Amino acid sequence: MKYRVLFSQAASEDLEQLFDFALQRELESETGNLDIADRAVQAIKNGISFLKTSPFTCRKVESSSLIRELIIPFGHTGYVALFEIVDSSTVIIGAIRHQREDDYH
């Protein structure tokens, strides 16, 4: 079964914000690698593509079996995508955060 994966407005904004943050961090570092921001966004997109086939393998959030989170490795840390399995063919990404953030629920 294939799921259609959609981004909420908030998740789309999160993706832009994560790109901007990674880019700014690299611009301010002595060894700034401007490709890092693009690679981070690509890692997120690659991770999220996993949800097209296997959203139920991700860990549950709270008591609902339909709200879950996907861990997306990147470098020494990574990202977490909060999503909901809406029906038998649709997954909606609600938020994307860096793993060290804790305010995406």
53-78 pLDDT tens trace: 999 999 999 888 999 999 999 988 89
- Residue 103 located in a structural domain: no
- Average pLDDT over every residue of 2-25: 94
- Residue 21 located in a structural domain: yes
- Residue 62 located in a structural domain: yes
Give the model's pLDDT for residue 104: 47
Q: CATH number for the domain including 39?
A: 3.30.2310.20
The whole-chain average pLDDT of the chain stands at: 91
Q: What is the DSSP string of 30-71?
A: TT--THHHHHHHHHHHHHHHGGGT-GGGSEEETTEEEEEEEE
- Residue 105 located in a structural domain: no
- Residue 89 located in a structural domain: yes
Tell me which residue has tokens 């997120």.
44
* Residue percentage of the chain with pLDDT more than 70: 95
- Confidence tier at 4 by pLDDT (50, 70, 90): very high
Looking at the structure of the chain, the number of domains it has is: 1
Residue-number span of the structural domain to which 37 is assigned: 4-98
pLDDT of 105 over the 70 cut: no
Q: What is the pTM of this model?
A: 0.88
**Strands 4-7 and 90-98, bridge-based pairing:** parallel
